[in-house]
């Protein structure tokens, strides 16, 4: 019961933090100076990481550099494999495990059920794709966004 009380308090504080952060982003001072000093420290407005168009990247730096810099979204690869575009056994030949990180989450049963149901729906979706797939798909219609995050 102690965990549940602390967890609810954490959720309430996280929600409040998100609201304050959204207000801070709209602050005129932050947009003018990118920094604001307050009693508790400093708030800085940071820019998001830039988004690159894959075609432009390949044209400027080449395909090999793209392969070195890209991070593949494996969930999209699984969807393409289930649709019949690619074969997962071929993909496994090129996969390399770089690091294994373990995370443990303590969550309420209701949230765990929601997560479990999401994963079940995803597995059913992939299964459905593998059943209805047709091999008359045009691979040239795939865009780089279908493969990379």
pLDDT, average across residues 1-16? 87
User: How distant is the alpha carbon of residue 29 from its chain centre?
Assistant: 31
Element (H, E) at 54: helix 54-61
Q: What is the pLDDT of residues 9-43, one digit of tens each?
A: 999 999 998 898 888 878 777 778 888 787 888 88
Contact (Cβ atoms closer than 8 angstroms) between residue 91 and residue 81: yes
Task: Look at residue 133 in the predicted model and tell me its pLDDT.
Answer: 64
Q: Which of 97, 52, 69, 72 is nearest to 81 (CA)?
A: 72
pTM greater than 0.75: no
């Amino acid at each position: 019961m102690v965990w549940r009380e602390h967890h609810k308090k954490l959720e309430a504080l996280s929600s409040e933090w998100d609201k304050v952060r959204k207000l801070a982003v709209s602050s005129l001072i932050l947009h003018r100076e990118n920094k604001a000093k307050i009693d508790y420290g400093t708030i800085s407005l940071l820019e998001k990481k830039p988004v690159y168009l894959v075609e432009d990247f390949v044209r400027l730096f080449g395909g090999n550099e793209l392969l070195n810099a890209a991070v593949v979204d494996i969930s999209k690869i699984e969807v393409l494999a289930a649709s019949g575009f690619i074969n997962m056994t071929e993909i496994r030949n090129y996969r390399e495990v770089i690091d294994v990180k373990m995370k443990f989450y303590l969550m309420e049963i209701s949230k765990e059920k929601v997560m479990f149901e999401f994963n079940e729906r995803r597995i059913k979706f992939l299964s459905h794709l593998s059943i209805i797939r047709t091999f008359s798909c045009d691979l040239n219609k795939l865009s780089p966004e279908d493969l990379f995050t």
